[in-house]
Amino acid sequence: MKGFFMSILFVLGLLVFPSSSFAALLESDLQEYLAELGLTEVELEEHLDFYDSSLVDFEDIDELKEFLGPILTNENLIDLLVSYELTLEEATNLLIENGELEEGQAIIDVYLFVDDLDMDLYFYNLTPITDENLQQLLDQYELTIDDLNELLTENDDSLESYEYIEDLEWAIDFYLYGDDYLEEIDLELISDLFDEIGLTEEEVNRLLEHLESLDYEDPAFLEQLINLSDRMIAFEEFEAADELSAEQIAELIDIFTQLLDVLELDTTYYLVKDNNKEEVNLETLLTITEINGYSLLIEITNKQGDFLADFLFTAEMFGSEIIKETGKDLKTTEEVITKQKDTSSKSTPVTKTEKGAKLPKTATPYLNNALAGLFIVTIGLFLYRRFKMTGV
């Protein structure tokens, strides 16, 4: 589902390198929030680690709160139970039966965030597919079984991929009405960013066609991406290359070089000022700390040397709001997709804080994560073309 503007923004980040940093969380805001949660900073970091994230990934306390979701209270607990048509006793017994609670424990004392409880209640209420409920679902969407198979095939999916009727219903709904879930995307903002960096519609289509030609279903391909993202995550936030050792710089270069190979891309970098255009290599680009009025031109080709696109970044554009705001819009899209699908599997052991609050069990990479960046970029490209074609 997360298969395809940020393999562009990610590739942009990949090509320009992470030379700019986000604002750090204010310590006073963080301490106030920790007190509200009843957690220590270490406990919150452990919590975020399950999402493959960290406090350094957030610009401000509002972004952190949005990521974690609302704190569980008696009021929203009741609302959640009503949505699942469960009594408190039924929900408690369900969680005890599945090892999420121990006898005598209360939901409100174990779960810290609404989203965590929502995830578990959803999973343990999933209904296995039967002939009867499958027919009810088909009737609900006015589909025949042949219509369903055709819809799934059109989206590189199959009925055999689904064990639970709720997951199948979500897929059908998304395939039929996905644009409704993506309506928060600001196409004009995406177009503005493309215009800002000189990316034409023809270049967008070439990049999209190239990215779509990659085999995202190949386990080896995905394994390479995951491995590279894990290596990238190992780096802490930094503002300039002089904060890194020679070994770390070499590792960064190797990561980005390998990622370009995985994406089957080659890049050439130029510093441009007035009528002068000087080619620079990757190592030089990484160590540049002053722009000095130069613009950065990036040319992208495939491995056969065919030109795909070029981007021009002026000195004023580094850290510009248009890129940041577009990233936020695309991030919203990934959250919509991720929150709908992350409940489809459960494998990470339960972890709790010293106070008993339950920590999340699924890894949800976001834009700060290199792999998520790749997926979000590809999603953006796909959305851009899709919206252009449908006139959204």
For residue range 54-81, list pLDDT tens digits in order. 888 787 899 899 999 999 999 999 999 9
Contact predicate 270/285, CB 8 Å = no
End-to-end CA distance of the chain: 20
Per residue, what are the HEC states of 52-80? Answer: CCCHHHCCCHHHHHHHHCCECCHHHHHHH
Find the helix or strand (DSSP H, E) in which 8 lies.
helix 8-16
Residue type, 182: L
Beta bridge partners, 265, equal 302
Q: Which residues contact 145 (CB under 8 A, 6 or more apart)?
A: 134, 138
Beta bridge partners, 301, equal 266, 307
Token pair of 101 as six digits: 């609670």
Contact predicate 129/163, CB 8 Å = yes
Of the pLDDT bands very low, low, confident and very high (cuts 50, 70, 90), residue 360 is very low
In this structure, what are the phi and psi dihedrals at residue 58, rounded to the nearest 5 degrees? -110, 135
Nearest to 300 by CA among 311, 289, 309: 309
Q: What is the pTM of this model?
A: 0.47
Half-sphere exposure of 10 (CA within 13 A, CB side): 30
pLDDT (average), residues 16-37: 70
pLDDT digits (tens, 9 = 90+) for 211-249: 878 886 778 887 887 777 777 766 655 544 555 677 777
Residue type, 4: F
Which pLDDT does position 243 carry in this prediction? 58
The residue whose two tokens read 């929030």 is: 33
Query: What's the whole-number average pLDDT of the chain?
Result: 72
- Higher per-residue pLDDT: 166 or 387: 166
Answer yes or no: is pLDDT of 209 > 50: yes
Answer yes or no: is pLDDT of 107 > 90: yes
Classify residue 141 by its DSSP letter.
Answer: T
What proportions of the chain, in percent to the nearest 5, are helix, strand and coil? 60, 10, 35
Which pLDDT does position 9 carry in this prediction? 41
Three-class secondary structure of residue 334 per DSSP: helix
In this structure, what are the phi and psi dihedrals at residue 149, rounded to the nearest 5 degrees? -60, -40
Strand order in the sheet with 276-280: 276-280, 265-273, 295-302, 307-313
Distance from C-alpha of 68 to C-alpha of 48, rounded to nearest angstrom: 8
Distance from C-alpha of 134 to C-alpha of 145, rounded to nearest angstrom: 9
- Higher per-residue pLDDT: 18 or 41: 41
Token pair of 200 as six digits: 């034409």
pLDDT (average), residues 75-102: 95
Which pLDDT does position 352 carry in this prediction? 37
pLDDT digits (tens, 9 = 90+) for 277-333: 888 887 776 666 566 777 878 888 999 999 998 878 775 554 434 334 434 444 444
Question: CA separation (Å) from 162 to 15, 321, 324?
Answer: 38, 41, 37
Q: Which of 39-48, 207-216, 270-279, 299-308 is predicted with the least confidence, judged by mean pLDDT?
A: 207-216
Which pLDDT does position 315 carry in this prediction? 58
In this structure, what are the phi and psi dihedrals at residue 182, rounded to the nearest 5 degrees? -105, 10
